[in-house]
């Protein structure tokens, strides 16, 4: 077990390193001078040189990358002549646009993205697993066909389209919900939830479709297993069978799927945030790409990539912990 753990952690660290190198390299080695982007259009050649030196862009590429990693782990100092800016670890540099440290930009927006994603995930889990089990238990009925239809819709529809339809119905026609604007949970929990209902539903429908599919397959598989047949033969009530066994069969694949699907969830969340104008990390990503704010782009991509890689490693471990059949070698 220990050996398995260390190996998995080492592999994860290796993947993270490779990923950071790719992301960093991709954006700093691209055509176009980062110093020009950082300094703005009206910078003279002298100011450009100062900026270039301050950001360390006059150094060799591998040194730049090394300082970038150093900044991530231990923080780094940016000096231009007399004044020194200290950027505490994990340092991702300063935004070209607002001169704010990228790390604090990300942290500021984290609560919004977390509220959106966690709420939607919870909703998707309940709705998706419920619908998946229901359609497995009511095979051949109208209910099953209905659920299959909705699932297909959730699969093939982009989240912003669902969001638009929800806005149209609940916000423009029925006028029961406001156009979402983020209210922090700590300020007013009721308004926080009321404003997030539409984004939650839009994001959850996409994920629920996926959960429903695997939950259905898991339920069907479990119900066909020998031990369930034995329980039934002994007269265990159908209710018990569903509660004790089918539910477990439905939930097991969903747990790992959540981690595997995190990349998709991040992308959908990004689209949801842009569509509803929620000031989360996804919206930051979109804004930073329109203004070619390199440090922010690198920061967001790295953060999302890291989340995905860690979630996948965690899913592997979780899977191994839940299912004794998985070999830890």
Partner 1 sequence: MTLLDTEAAAGTDPAPSRRGGAWRRLLADRSALAALVLVGLLALAALAAPLLTALEGQDPTTFHSRLLDSARGGVPRGALGGISGDHWLGVEPGTGRDVFARVVHGARVSLGVALAATVLELVIGIAIGLAAGLGGRRLDAVLGRVIEIAIAFPSLLLALALMAIVPQSVPRPVLVALAITAVNWGNIARVTRAQAMSLRSREYVDAARLAGARPLRIALREILPGLATPLMVLAALKVPNNIVNEAGLSFLGAGVRPPTPSWGQMLSTSTTWFQTDPAYVIIPGGLLLVTLLAFSLFADGVRRALDPRSVRV
CB of 146: closest distance to partner 1 in angstroms? 14
Q: Which two tokens stand for residue 63?
A: 């040194």
CA distance 201 to 314: 27
Counting every residue, how long is the chain? 329
Q: Is 301 in the site for partner 1 (CB under 8 A)?
A: yes
CB of 18: closest distance to partner 1 in angstroms? 7
Q: Quick check: 285 and 270 in contact, CB under 8 A? A: yes
Measured from the CB atom, the residue of 59 and 274 that comes closer to partner 1 is 274
Q: Is 266 in the site for partner 1 (CB under 8 A)?
A: yes
Q: Is 17 in the site for partner 1 (CB under 8 A)?
A: no
Three-point CA angle 258, 260, 266, nearest 5°: 75
CA distance 5 to 17: 18
Q: Is 213 in the site for partner 1 (CB under 8 A)?
A: yes
Q: Which of residues 51-90 bind partner 1 (CB under 8 A)?
A: none
Measured from the CB atom, the residue of 139 and 243 that comes closer to partner 1 is 139
Query: Is omega for the bond preceding 210 within 30 degrees of 0, making it cis?
Result: no
Q: Is 172 in the site for partner 1 (CB under 8 A)?
A: yes
Buried b or exposed e, range 96-117, using 16+ CB within 10 angstroms: bbeeebbbebbeebebbbebbb
Q: How many residues bind partner 1 (CB under 8 A)?
A: 51
Q: Quick check: 198 and 166 in contact, CB under 8 A? A: yes
User: Using CB under 8 A, which of 48, 72, 171, 193 touches partner 1?
Assistant: 171
CA distance 119 to 140: 32
Residue 28: helix, strand or coil by DSSP?
Answer: helix
Return the CA Rg of the chain.
24
Q: Which two tokens stand for residue 201?
A: 């539903």
Q: Is 167 in the site for partner 1 (CB under 8 A)?
A: yes
Q: Is 22 in the site for partner 1 (CB under 8 A)?
A: yes
Q: Which two tokens stand for residue 13?
A: 């660290």
CA atoms within 13 A on the CB side of 237: 3
How much helix, strand and coil, in percent to the nearest 5, is found in the chain?
Answer: 75, 5, 20
CB of 206: closest distance to partner 1 in angstroms? 11
Measured from the CB atom, the residue of 7 and 244 that comes closer to partner 1 is 7
Q: Is 170 in the site for partner 1 (CB under 8 A)?
A: no
Choices 54-62, 100-108, 238-246, 283-291 (CB under 8 A): range interacting with partner 1: 283-291
CA distance 241 to 264: 33
Q: Is 155 in the site for partner 1 (CB under 8 A)?
A: yes
Measured from the CB atom, the residue of 43 and 217 that comes closer to partner 1 is 217
Q: Is 267 in the site for partner 1 (CB under 8 A)?
A: yes
CB of 32: closest distance to partner 1 in angstroms? 7
CB of 214: closest distance to partner 1 in angstroms? 10
Instruction: Identify the CA nearest to 108 among candidates 270, 261, 240, 281.
Output: 281
Q: Is 134 in the site for partner 1 (CB under 8 A)?
A: no
In the 8-state DSSP scheme, what is residue 86?
A: E
Q: Is 109 in the site for partner 1 (CB under 8 A)?
A: no
Choices 77-85, 195-203, 295-303, 315-323 (CB under 8 A): range interacting with partner 1: 295-303
CA distance 145 to 152: 10
Measured from the CB atom, the residue of 114 and 236 that comes closer to partner 1 is 114
Binding site for partner 1 (CB under 8 A): 15, 18-19, 22, 26-27, 30-32, 148, 152-153, 155-158, 160-161, 164-165, 167-168, 171-173, 213, 216-217, 263-264, 266-267, 270-271, 274-275, 285-286, 288-290, 292, 294, 297, 300-301, 304-305, 308-309, 312
């Amino acid at each position: 077990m220990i050996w398995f753990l260390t190996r998995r952690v080492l592999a994860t660290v290796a993947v993270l390193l490779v990923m950071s190198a790719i992301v960093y390299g991709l954006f700093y080695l691209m055509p176009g001078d980062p110093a020009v982007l950082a300094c703005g259009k009206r910078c003279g050649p002298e100011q450009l040189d100062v900026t270039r030196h301050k950001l360390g862009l006059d150094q060799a590429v591998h040194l730049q990358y090394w300082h970038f990693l150093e900044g991530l782990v231990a923080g780094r100092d940016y000096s231009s002549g007399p004044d020194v800016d200290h950027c505490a670890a994990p340092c991702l540099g300063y935004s070209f646009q607002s001169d704010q440290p990228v790390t604090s930009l990300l942290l500021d927006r984290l609560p919004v993205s977390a509220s959106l994603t966690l709420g939607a995930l919870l909703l998707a889990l309940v709705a998706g697993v419920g619908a998946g089990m229901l359609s497995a238990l009511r095979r051949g009925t109208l209910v099953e066909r209905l659920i299959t239809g909705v699932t297909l819709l959730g699969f093939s529809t982009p989240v912003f389209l669902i969001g638009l339809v929800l806005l149209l119905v609940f916000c423009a026609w029925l006028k029961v919900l406001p156009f979402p604007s983020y209210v922090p949970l700590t300020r007013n929990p009721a308004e926080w939830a009321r404003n997030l209902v539409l984004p939650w539903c839009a994001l959850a429908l996409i994920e629920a479709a996926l959960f429903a599919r695997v939950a259905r397959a898991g339920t069907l598989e479990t119900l066909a297993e020998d031990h369930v047949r034995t329980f039934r033969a002994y007269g265990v009530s159908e209710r018990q069978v569903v509660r004790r066994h089918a539910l477990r069969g439905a939930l097991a694949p969903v747990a790992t799927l959540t981690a595997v699907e995190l990349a998709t969830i991040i992308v959908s969340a990004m689209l949801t945030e842009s569509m509803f104008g929620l000031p989360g990390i996804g919206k930051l990503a979109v804004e930073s790409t329109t203004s070619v704010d390199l440090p922010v782009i690198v920061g967001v991509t790295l953060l999302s990539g890291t989340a995905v890689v860690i979630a996948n490693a965690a899913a592997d471990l979780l899977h191994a912990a839940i299912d004794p059949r998985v070999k830890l070698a």
